Structure 1
């Protein structure tokens, strides 16, 4: 049993974007149980903007791993000093508990170097992470969505796990920035907006770009406005889109940060994409999602909540293989047709 008098908690979930999004409800659950505690979050730079939105946290701290790598390569001594100076400041906070939601070496060693009174983490942690925990949390054996896995950590601190609250508080400043972005890109918000996010971080999870382009043109013909999103690296590939009407789509790849992306999605009527962080962000802000999935499992990794649809061909022997690079000619993604996605999209848009 954890004592009710917990004054300082540090949540450690460093990356990736999708898992960080699924972890966000733990902050709300812990805040309900420990309303007067200082609850902080240690995260890497990429996901920082989303965690920073959460009103149930007191401080969001960036773990500057990339900066340390650059420093060490340039000036080893300076890089090492920066590393130890960072954790010295965190130790000075005198945390009662660090709660490692990630269960990897990088998160566990971070928790260890913070030196709280109690280090907690998953009993099934990888990369020798369990060696650093003083209390190991047994997660449910039954397979379920990752969001429940992360809430189970809050349950270990006697918090209620029934309510899902991401804490994505989109401020007037963020909304104003997106309004300006829409004006600059001449986005026609009078018609329903459909967001297409073609790329993921695994080659095997990507539906085909030409299929997204065909789908986009069909949606444009039906009177919808299409917005493509993605990273800066995706921009050039998406720029090759030949639209049937040039003023009925925009390519916002690389033009938003994560906070602005959340607001873009909030303004849309529908999101379509693969198993990737933006897909989970769209679900978190409450718009209908169509997820195109092959190598991963919708039960654990699909869009969370009601009103979403996963398209996956479960008749294939190789489905849910979890391979990052496909050796089977991308059969699972080839089995998803433009007509099938369009049919489901039209139904959701007419509801």
Structure 2
């Protein structure tokens, strides 16, 4: 690979937000190895803003799967034309290599239709994806964190994997927007700021909202400022939070885009949440993280980096079951107490 005259590289990692964050260091690793090459990234809509922050990429290309799904209900012919038109345009880029980090049918099909000179992906790719690749990368048998796995795939192209750079470069415009948001919310900058992100995309990964609220009140009473973050769909549930110190918390769920959320996390002192995209974003910007985990594995999907804390009850037989919907009355999350999280939070904030 290193002997090839590589002028154009396409990285493919389509979704979800947390998985894309885990892949971001690949851009900087490849840029160091191929400083003169054109390096592009193919991604879906949700994680697009984060990838666009990366200064090591030349182009960030949106795969419009959401648009095609919407079009399909209205006009099948136009959907087909749009689909093949997109890949015809992509094919004209004449990529030397497409490194597929995703390893699923949708990413492998995209690679096939783009027609790079070399289609490269993981040997353990799922949904028949590995049969599309022209070269397959064997992953070590030991369990690897997703960040390490992605960098290992990049090492097949000669990229060094010792350093870690997510490339989350915040522009002055984004910083200004967050400053205005802080001013609007009258956020007390004399207090340490604790982020609480209560919801995940899996029912089984959610800690209980009443426990998050109890934790928030205890942290407020200890003198900290609480900022709740989340999606727009989380805002109403979080709005039920009650505290006698109304000037010591803000509900910013749905109030920021991903770029602003990145800058918001950069300004905070501690993050508390489950296994979800914002947790991995917090870890990526070196915000100290407490992650409450049950059905998933900290080894492969925990907050990556030094200093973060995962709370998980390893005594349970069902721990790390990987079930999206729990049939065991959420025992893994019930085993995490408010006092346990509060003790660790106070230690981090006072340390």
TM-score by shorter chain over 0.5: yes
Q: Does 1:302 align with 2:270?
A: no
The 3-state SS of whatever aligns with 1:40 is strand
The CA deviation string for residues 88-145 of structure 1, in whole angstroms up to 9 with x for no partner, is 1110100001110000011110111110000011111111111211111111111121
Deviation of the 1:71 alpha carbon: 1.1
TM-score (norm 1): 0.99
Distance 1:195 1:45 in 2: 25
The CA deviation string for residues 65-103 of structure 1, in whole angstroms up to 9 with x for no partner, is 010111121111111111111111110100001110000
Distance 2:2 2:80 in 1: 35
The residue correspondences of 1:48-127 to structure 2 (distance < 5 A) are: 48-127=48-127
The CA deviation string for residues 25-67 of structure 1, in whole angstroms up to 9 with x for no partner, is 1111100100000000000010000000000000000101010
Distance 1:339 1:234 in 2: 24
Instruction: Tell me the residue number matched to 1:178.
Output: 178
The residue correspondences of 1:225-264 to structure 2 (distance < 5 A) are: 225-264=225-264
Instruction: Tell me the residue number matched to 2:268.
Output: 268
Runs of 4+ aligned structure 1 residues displaced above 3 Å come to none
Distance 1:306 1:200 in 2: 23
Q: Between 183-192 and 117-126, report the one with greater CA deviation.
A: 183-192
The 3-state SS of whatever aligns with 1:67 is helix
Instruction: Tell me the residue number matched to 1:148.
Output: 148
Gaps of 5+ in 1: none
Instruction: Tell me the residue number matched to 1:345.
Output: 345
Q: Does 1:196 align with 2:193?
A: no
Q: CA RMSD in A?
A: 0.8
Instruction: Tell me the residue number matched to 2:168.
Output: 168
Deviation of the 1:2 alpha carbon: 3.9
The CA deviation string for residues 257-293 of structure 1, in whole angstroms up to 9 with x for no partner, is 1110011111100000000010000000011000000
Deviation of the 1:244 alpha carbon: 2.5
Distance 2:175 2:101 in 1: 31
Gaps of 5+ in 2: none
The 3-state SS of whatever aligns with 2:47 is helix
Distance 1:60 1:26 in 2: 14
Deviation of the 1:4 alpha carbon: 4.3
Distance 1:178 1:140 in 2: 42
**Aligned partners of 1:39 and 1:57 also within 8 Å:** yes
Distance 2:78 2:174 in 1: 36
TM-score (norm 2): 0.99
The residue correspondences of 1:24-35 to structure 2 (distance < 5 A) are: 24-35=24-35
Instruction: Tell me the residue number matched to 2:328.
Output: 328
Deviation of the 1:3 alpha carbon: 2.5
Deviation of the 1:184 alpha carbon: 1.7
